[in-house]
Chain A
Amino acid sequence: MVTSVSVRPRVRAPLEALVVAVGFSSLGAEIAAARLMAPFFGASTVIWANTIAVVLVALSAGYRLGGRLADRRPSREALAGLVLLASVLLAAVPLVAHPFLSLSVRAFDTLSVGAFFSSLFGVLVLVAVPVLLLGAVSPWALRLRLADLSHAGEVAGRLYAVSTAGSLAGTFAAALVLIPHLGTQRTFLVLAAVPACVAVLELRAQWAAVPVALIAALALPVGTVKPAETGRVLYETETPYQYARVVELPDGTRRLELNEGQAIHSLWKPGTVLTGNYWDGFLVLPFANGASGPPGRIAILGTAGGTVARAYARFYPATRIDAVDIDGKLFDIGRRWFGLEPRPELRTIAQDARPFLRETTARYDAIFVDAYRQPYIPFYLATREFFALVRDHLRPNGTVIVNVGHPRDSQALERALTATMRAVFPVLARDPIAATNTLLMGASVPLDEARLQAAPAPAGLRGLVAAQRLEPPLPGGRVFTDDRAPVEWLIDTSIVRYAAGESK
Chain B
Amino acid sequence: MRRYGHVELVVFAAGVATLGAEIAAQRLVAPQFGASTVVWADTIGVVLVALAGGYWLGGRLADRHPRVRDLSRTALAGAALVALVPLVAVPVLEAGEGSLPALLVLVAPPVLVLGAVSPWAVRLRVTALADAGDVAGRVYALSTAGGLVGTFVSALALIPLLGTRWTFLICAALLAAAALPGACSSRPA
Q: Which A residues have a C-beta under 8 Å from some C-beta of B?
A: 45, 49, 52-53, 56-57, 59-61, 63-71, 74, 135-136, 138-140, 142-143, 146, 148-158, 160-162, 164-165, 167-168, 171-172, 175-176, 240-241, 326, 351-355, 358, 373, 378-380, 383, 385-386, 481-484, 486, 488-489
Contact = CB atoms under 8 A, between A and B. Distances in A.
B152 A53 contact: yes
Nearest to A57: B148
A175 to B, nearest CB: 7
Contacts of A151: 63
B133 A67 contact: yes
B55 A160 contact: yes
B136 A138 contact: yes
Interface of B: 27, 30-37, 39-41, 44-45, 48-49, 51-53, 55-63, 66, 115-116, 118-120, 122-123, 126-138, 140-141, 144-145, 147-148, 151-152, 155-156, 159-165
A158 B133 contact: no
Contacts of A140: 133
B133 A74 contact: yes
Contacts of A157: 55-60, 62, 116, 119
Contact of B137 (A63, A240, A353): A63
B137 A176 contact: no
A64 B52 contact: no
> Chain B: interface secondary structure?
helix
A71 B140 contact: no
A152 B123 contact: yes
Contacts of A355: 32-34, 36
A483 B56 CA distance: 34
A380 B44 contact: no
B138 A152 contact: no
Given A153-B60, A165-B52, A66 B133 contact: yes
A156 B33 contact: no
A352 B36 contact: yes
Given A156-B123, A158-B56, A66 B137 contact: yes
Contacts of A146: 126, 129, 132
B31 A153 contact: no
B162 A484 contact: yes
A156 B59 contact: yes
A67 B60 CA distance: 22
Contacts of B118: 156, 160
Given A53-B148, A146-B126, A156-B123, A164 B155 contact: no
